[in-house]
Structure 1
Amino acid sequence: MKKQKGLPPMTAPSPLTPTPAPLADLTQIQRITFPQFPAPGRVLTIYESGAALPIPVARVFTVASDEADTMGGGHAHRWCSQVLVCLQGEVEFVGRDHLGGEVRHRLADPRDAVLMPPTIWGEQYYRQTPALLMVFCDYPFDAADYIRDFETFRAYRASLAAGQ
């Protein structure tokens, strides 16, 4: 697998840091289907917060890849939930916990998405390119929200599990 390359460090100032989210388990990773309305020569897909989109939206970003088998993600969030939608190509989502469990979802249709709660390690593999992934977040960017090392993630989840 090809790793992410050339990404700038994310060092934006932190807003007030919320209380960490409760420990999520892999069963909380949900498939979502958005409504689509085909018409001659086009298709309308609706991403509406409060309807099929189960989180309030504070941030939206896209990731484009033109190189197959490139990996994105490779981190967890302490409190941010995300909904991932593949607008073009094919992206494989992998969610992991600290005990070796994992869940995989193939995303290749703009009406299909995955909800990833906080405290889950997420990876995306761009399988069919060009690919375009759109991500809805319920929290603005905060560098303190990210856990970018898997061993640190495992220790963080273990500490949350011990506190429950």
Structure 2
Amino acid sequence: MDAPAPDAHITVRDAVTEDAPFLREVLADMFGSTMMAVHDELLDATGDAAAVAERDGRRVGLITYRRDGTETWEIISLAVIEPGIGAGTALLGWLRAAAVRQSVTLLWLVTTNENLAALRFYQRRGFDLVRVDRDAVTRARQLKPSIPLEDDGIPIRHELVLELRL
């Protein structure tokens, strides 16, 4: 199934210094903190780089990533303020185009086993599930004890790695 087309009124741009409070606030609201415990490390979800989606002059989403190699970028976070308007799709499309321009051959990310919306979102946009790190979230709670134990009745235990080859 194809991903929905982004809203024509959504624009995406590189984040600038003035966006820092927006990034911190949204990341804290969506993820409980700007710090994420993932793949056995604690990292700053603001990443090395970020982009912001806007609609009618309002910031409606963000994507953060890190350039973890010359040919690979890791998506650290994707957050939208107004779900369903295409901001996530627009942000991902922007990052994909930026990666191609920089000769990046792989985008990848980690999500957790209970995050069915993320799995659906990324797979609909061409990402493949390539690895399950069993009990990685259980280990991550040593770095970040505030990670919930379950969501909607599903125990949060495993990290899932998804990749998009460009």
Range into which the TM-score falls when normalised by the shorter chain: under 0.3
Which structure features the higher share of strand residues?
1
TM-score calculated relative to the size of structure 1:
0.24
Which has the higher Rg, Structure 1 or Structure 2? 1
TM-score relative to the length of structure 2: 0.24
**Which structure dedicates a bigger proportion of its chain to helix?**
2
Structure number with the bigger relative contact order (C-alpha 8 A, sep ≥ 6) is: 1
